[in-house]
Amino acid sequence: MTQNTNIFGLMGRKASTATAFISFRGTTDLADWLQDLDVEPEPYTPLTGFGQVHAGFQDVYQVVRASIAANLPATLTGCTQILITGHSLGAAVAVLAAPDVFRGMPPNTIEPRLITFAGPKVGLPDFVTAFNTDIESCFRVVNFLDIVPLVPPAPYVHVGAQIDVDSRGPIDVVTRHSLTAYLAGLNALIAANP
């Protein structure tokens, strides 16, 4: 998925745990970077009165929204829970997808759980308040010295609860933001808390 820039996400289910999932990849090319930079706030379009969000991230979500809506009923067949996840830009898209999947797309019966990695801030306080009211299980994993979770600046704020990890190793923007670093940070956190 991360090697093919034409694929932005993956949907599926694990029958043994009755869990459906939606996963989004991070930024991979110039077009993605340009969307990351479109920081103008605009109304969250999937749900009326749900607050203001990052215009560029919402544009990306709108590209994949129809595909999610078309495939969600079949994906949820036999499932009792749904996990939405993503890394970097994919984390932002996961945040935008969650309330829409819960309230705007049939079957509208399962509240999604989110776990994101290296996610930027997605919305203004009005969106965050509405999001945190609707989506009660949202965890953002943030690696020490990764700068992406610090952007965009105020008035943007984060949703959910933050889990801090430290991958150690090289201190540079690319390394600290990589999925490899996040895996190392999670492994270190698990080892320290048996």
Which CA distances in Å does 59 have to 34, 106, 152? 11, 22, 16
Residue 138 and residue 5: Cα distance in Å, rounded? 27
Mean pLDDT of 118-137: 97
Interval 65-86: pLDDT, tens = 999 999 999 999 999 999 999 9
Dihedral sign of CA atoms 82, 10, 172, 39 in order = negative
pLDDT at position 51, please?
Answer: 98
Residue 82 and residue 87: Cα distance in Å, rounded? 17
Spatial CA neighbour of 93 closest among 46, 129, 144:
46
pTM exceeds 0.85: yes
DSSP label at residue 15: G
